[in-house]
Amino acid sequence: MHYQNHLARLHEVPYVMDNPGRESARVVPSTSNTRAEYQWRFLNQGVTRPMLLTLDTMFANHDFDLGNDVHKFCVATAACSIANVLIDRLFGQLVNRRIDRVGRPKQVMKNQFNTMPLIPGSLLDTGAAAAEYIAQGGSIIPEMELRDPLSEWPELQAERKTRLDDNHNLDMIASEIVRPFHPTHSPLFRQYILDFISTTVALLGTV
């Protein structure tokens, strides 16, 4: 969702432009937002920044056109697919690593705080979380909703997935993105995005 919002946004709303010093997100005490505050820097370091190196390079080289809704959807969705792999790995490392004189966070959280580690699907979906946030007095910057150009043809969506799965290994792409100590441009990630775009465009040409 972060990448979809980032890539889909075309214009800042007036409130954003008129209030450049505003808080970008609701700030809550560490006692009520421990996981998010603790894990946010790891997400930036282990997921966002490594991926943006390739995305920024591709954008600079005109590999895709963010003025094209098909390109925009394909880039955002491909990026989210890889981000999901990296996030699952990251959370696994965070909750299972051993800390001296403390133990493994997974076991500590379970025993001391009567809670379980954050797992995919354990949080509210985006719509429900947004509704709850607004009900508590929060405001959300409107974003452009991305739409799959093949949404009216489920059989073509399935065909696209099959073609991409046959030619790309998401785990291998994720590994290449974060393998170097200093992450660099990922040829595998670039090719995955280009194939996502070309496959979608080709299938659109059949309808």
Maximum alpha-carbon separation in the chain? 62
pTM of the model: 0.64
- pLDDT at position 27, please? 45
pLDDT in tens, 16-52: 444 444 444 444 444 455 555 556 677 777 788 889 9
What residue has token string 């409130």? 15
The tokens of 58 are what? Answer: 């591709």
117-140 average pLDDT score: 71
Count Cβ atoms within 10 A of the Cβ of residue 106 and give its class: 0-12 exposed, 13-18 middle, 19 or more buried: middle
Q: Where along the chain do its domains lie?
A: 35-205
> Of 8-12, 126-130, 163-167, which range is least confident?
8-12
What is the C-alpha separation between 91 and 76, in angstroms, rounded? Answer: 22
Residue 141's pLDDT is: 60
